[in-house]
Chains A and B, each alone.
Chain A
Amino acid sequence: MHDLAPLTALGTTRPRQDTIGPLTISEAPDWALASVAARLEQERACADALAGLLGGPAPGIAQHVQGAELGAFWIGPHIWLIEAPYTPDLAQRVKSACGGSASVTDQTDAWVRFDLTGGGIVAVMERLSNLDIAQMQPAQARRTVIEHLGCYVIRHADSLTIYGPRASAQSLHHALVTAAKSAL
């Protein structure tokens, strides 16, 4: 039998949390992700399947929607990422809903998630990315570059979520903390 200790993306047993001034940067390991890419000429069927999963329309361009159980955000034309509190079978569940209308890939282990809460989010993010963070409305989601890493940024009403490449989790975390210390 294997006896493996679960580690977070930053290599510790408990998720890292840093508070710098009014801002708290929290590593959030307990999320599952799956990507959905509609197949050619199946875009309508795929969007309908997602609507069934989410309990409402699939997110439009640069939008994030939160359903009862699952969230989703737009990452490109007819491509979405589905997110949920950690469950090992998210991709299977999405695939069984979409059937042949979409290609679904488990993305859970590909990303590290950081949640920014508190004050100073705009001041920190405008040092990290060329997105117009101050103009981003709640429920908007964009892909951008932070510290040379392609990341997804989701604006919520009172917080901000960043998904970055898990293999570069420490570089991304270092960039976030450095920018926060500089700005706040």
Chain B
Amino acid sequence: MIINHPLLGPCDAQEFIYKGDARLIDRPDGMSDGAEAAFYDYAYLRDNPAGEHRELWFHEQGDRSWLVVTRNTLTHEITSVELARDVARSRGRSA
């Protein structure tokens, strides 16, 4: 499988480590009302879609960037690759 890195171009998936559902970016506010339930959901509950899935990949044997890869779990087709930093910033999650 080839991941088309937004900075470096096509890279072998062997260079990456899979880090799970991209929803991990949306860490709940631990000080808010209902934080316990929100963290239970955040820590334990995952969707397992047969189809398009947004997931985190870490370029461990490359430039160490975190990516959000949109992948079809049925076909392995990758339709979008973004820097996780940009995704997090667009949601106000990172400076």
Contact = CB atoms under 8 A, between A and B. Distances in A.
A74 B65 CA distance: 13
B8 A142 contact: yes
B95 interface: yes
Given A41-B95, A130-B15, A144-B15, A61 B8 contact: yes
Interface in B52-78: 61-65
Interface residues of B, number: 13
Question: Chain A interface secondary structure, helix, strand, loop or mixed?
Answer: strand
Contacts, number: 33
A75 interface: yes
A143 B95 CA distance: 27
A62 B65 contact: no
Interface residues of A, number: 15
Question: Chain B interface secondary structure, helix, strand, loop or mixed?
Answer: loop
Interface string B1-22: 0000001100010110000000
Interface in A142-169: 142-145, 150
A76 interface: yes
Given A41-B95, A130-B14, A145-B15, A62 B64 contact: no
Contacts of B7: 61-62, 77
Nearest to B60: A150
A76 B65 CA distance: 7
Given A61-B7, A61-B8, A130-B14, A145 B63 contact: no
A4 interface: no
A134 interface: no
Contacts of B85: 77
Contacts of A62: 7-8
A40 interface: yes
B13 to A, nearest CB: 10
A41 B95 CA distance: 8
Contacts of B65: 76-77
A144 B62 contact: yes
Contact of B61 (A74, A77, A145): A145
Given A62-B7, A143-B61, 19 more contacts: A40-B95, A41-B95, A61-B7, A62-B8, A74-B63, A76-B63, A76-B64, A76-B65, A77-B65, A77-B85, A79-B63, A79-B64, A130-B12, A130-B15, A142-B62, A143-B62, A144-B15, A145-B61, A150-B61
Interface of B: 7-8, 12, 14-15, 61-65, 83, 85, 95
Top-8 shortest CB links A-B: A76-B63, A130-B12, A145-B61, A76-B64, A61-B7, A143-B62, A150-B61, A40-B95
